Amino acid sequence: GAVVSQHPSWVICKSGTSVKIECRSLDFQATTMFWYRQFPKQSLMLMATSNEGSKATYEQGVEKDKFLINHASLTLSTLTVTSAHPEDSSFYICSASQGGLSYTFGSGTRLTVV
């Protein structure tokens, strides 16, 4: 079946630094990738949708200059949290779609900003 690999699984960084999270579709070409954020005991909140080769579409309230998304190929999307602050600490999850009714999720990245 379709597999999405997300790295790192966890990361600790200092306030003010940037962190990059990678999301790869291993055995299929992902025309669209999605990034979600999940705070403890809450649901997944969609941050942005990205299509290969074009700019990401951000959900209302998500700062595009803070959460940089790159989807340069059909198998890789990256999310960079710039100038991270403790309030950015969260569980970030990517999802990839080939189009149609198919979404495959990564295993998530636990970001802790200290």
Partner 1 sequence: GENVGLHLPTLSVQEGDNSIINCAYSNSASDYFIWYKQESGKGPQFIIDIRSNMDKRQGQRVTVLLNKTVKHLSLQIAATQPGDSAVYFCAEEMRSQGNLIFGKGTKLSVKP
Residues that bind partner 1 (CB under 8 A): 6, 32, 34, 36, 40-46, 49, 91, 93, 95, 97, 101, 103, 105-108, 110
| Nearer CB in complex with partner 1: 80/98 | 98
| Nearer CB in complex with partner 1: 3/72 | 3
Minimum distance of partner 1 from residue 16's CB (angstroms): 26
| Nearer CB in complex with partner 1: 37/84 | 37
| Nearer CB in complex with partner 1: 61/86 | 61
Minimum distance of partner 1 from residue 19's CB (angstroms): 18
Amino acid in position 36 = Y
What is 42-83 written as a DSSP string? Answer: S-EEEEEEEETTSPPEEPTT--TTTEEEEEEETTEEEEEE-S
77 contacts 23 by C-beta, under 8 angstroms: yes
Minimum distance of partner 1 from residue 72's CB (angstroms): 20
35 contacts 51 by C-beta, under 8 angstroms: no
What pairing do the DSSP bridges indicate for beta strands 109-113 and 10-13? parallel
Minimum distance of partner 1 from residue 12's CB (angstroms): 15
Could you give the CA distance from residue 67 to residue 81 in angstroms, rounded to a whole number? Answer: 5
